[in-house]
């Protein structure tokens, strides 16, 4: 199988490496050509100096896998690809796009006779070594064409990947996956903060998280990563208390509202990330103001000690 990958960042670049090592011929393009040259030299990837050149180097049915930021970058790239492709060719979006966008793009591309697959991709920077969990949406015909590549990218040919449904279902499944991830991360963070707060026990968080990795109900890869990180230090003084949120956490909360399904854990985990991002703290200032107004409670001045 031969395919192109557009976007060779941390995820796209490692995916290209894994595909090349698994016997898939990859034509790669990236806006910065340094990574293109590096992958060509190290992995035997076929380099391309432009998207058009990448497409030209493919044989029918041509498969172009996009690994770009969601939103306008992905939208524009798909728009630019349409005149370069022919009926029967396929575009795969492996980024974190909104599933509504994927449904729209699938219908749009179908009008041009171009197949589309939305591939929810999990595995992060460890995917090259461990494989990627792939949740893909599309027609059975498109899934059949991509199956050889999916088997190479996944942890094993028979697991870690699935054609979950029609166009849009792959990114929808990944969206819910990320919402669950938010809740799991928040629970671990709160629990470990409580352990650290019990100063009279002088608990070693590295020891405890390592302990939980073995036969505990909460054992998981997320716990594995946390335990390994805590071995390097537990004060975390070099890490700012700011947690970014991806679009998928927000989309999951919106989906819960749209469906009328209670999802308090995932939604509150998202809200806690918002709280960490609030450098102004205006709501907390108002709370202090109100406590002073009704109860005469002292207002702490900026810069005062804890």
User: In a structure prediction context, what are the per-residue pLDDT tens digits for the chain, which is 306 residues long?
Assistant: 999 999 999 999 999 999 999 999 999 999 999 999 999 999 999 999 999 999 999 999 999 999 999 999 999 999 999 999 999 999 999 999 999 999 999 999 999 999 999 999 999 889 999 999 999 999 999 999 999 999 999 999 999 999 999 999 999 999 999 999 999 999 999 999 999 999 999 999 999 999 999 999 999 999 999 999 999 999 999 989 999 998 899 999 999 999 999 999 999 999 999 999 998 988 889 899 899 999 888 988 887 655
CATH 3.10.450.630 fits 2-167, yes or no: no
**Structural domain spans, the chain:** 2-167, 175-278
What is the DSSP code (8-state) at residue 58? -
Residue 60 CB contacts under 8 Å (≥ 6 apart), including other chains = 86, 88, 89
Query: Catalytic one among 174, 200, 237, 300?
Result: 174
Is 53 known to be catalytic? no
Closest CA to 81 of 118, 116, 52, 110: 52
Answer whether 2-167 and 175-278 agree in fold: no
- Judge if pTM exceeds 0.85: yes
* Rounded Cα gap, residues 95 and 100, in angstroms: 14
Phi, psi angles (nearest 5°) of residue 298: -65, 145
Give 285-304 as a 3 state SS string: HHHHHHHHHHHCCCCCCCCC
Sheet bearing 2-6, strands edge to edge: 46-47, 25-29, 2-6, 63-66, 90-93, 115-122, 133-137, 161-165
* Rounded Cα gap, residues 150 and 123, in angstroms: 14
The domain defined by 175-278 folds into 1.10.1040
Give 187-216 as a 3 state SS string: HHHHHHHHHHHCHHHCCCHHHHHHHHCCCC
Query: Catalytic one among 37, 42, 72, 181?
Result: 181
Is 37 known to be catalytic? no
* Rounded Cα gap, residues 25 and 65, in angstroms: 13
Q: Answer for the pair 57, 63: CB distance below 8 angstroms, yes or no.
A: no
């Amino acid at each position: 199988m031969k395919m192109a990958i557009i976007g060779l960042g941390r995820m796209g670049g490692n995916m290209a490496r894994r595909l090349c090592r698994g016997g898939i011929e990859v034509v790669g393009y990236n806006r910065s050509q340094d990574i293109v040259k590096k992958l060509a030299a190290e992995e035997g990837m076929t380099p391309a100096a432009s998207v058009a050149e990448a497409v030209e180097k493919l044989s029918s049915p041509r498969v172009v896998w996009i690994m770009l930021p969601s939103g306008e970058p992905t939208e524009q790239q798909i728009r630019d690809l349409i005149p370069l492709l022919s009926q029967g060719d396929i575009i795969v979006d492996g980024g974190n796009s909104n599933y509504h966008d994927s449904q729209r793009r699938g219908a749009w591309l179908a009008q041009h006779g171009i197949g589309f697959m939305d591939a929810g991709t999990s595995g992060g920077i460890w995917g090259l070594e461990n494989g990627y969990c792939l949740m893909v949406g599309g027609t059975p015909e498109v899934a059949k064409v991509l199956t050889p590549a999916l088997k190479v990218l996944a942890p094993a040919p028979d697991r870690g990947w699935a054609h979950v449904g029609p166009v849009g279902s792959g990114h929808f499944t990944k969206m819910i996956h990320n919402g669950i991830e938010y809740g799991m991360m928040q629970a671990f963070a709160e629990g470990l903060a409580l352990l650290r707060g019990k100063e009279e026990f002088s608990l070693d968080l590295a020891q405890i998280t390592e302990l939980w990795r073995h036969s505990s109900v909460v054992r998981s890869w997320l716990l594995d990563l946390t335990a390994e990180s805590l071995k390097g230090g537990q004060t975390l003084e070099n890490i700012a208390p700011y947690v970014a949120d991806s679009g998928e956490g927000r989309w999951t909360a919106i989906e819960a509202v749209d469906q009328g399904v209670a999802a308090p854990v995932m939604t509150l985990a998202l809200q806690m990330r918002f709280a960490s991002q609030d450098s102004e703290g205006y709501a907390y200032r108002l709370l202090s103001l109100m406590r002073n107004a009704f109860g005469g409670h002292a207002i702490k001045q900026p810069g005062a000690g804890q």
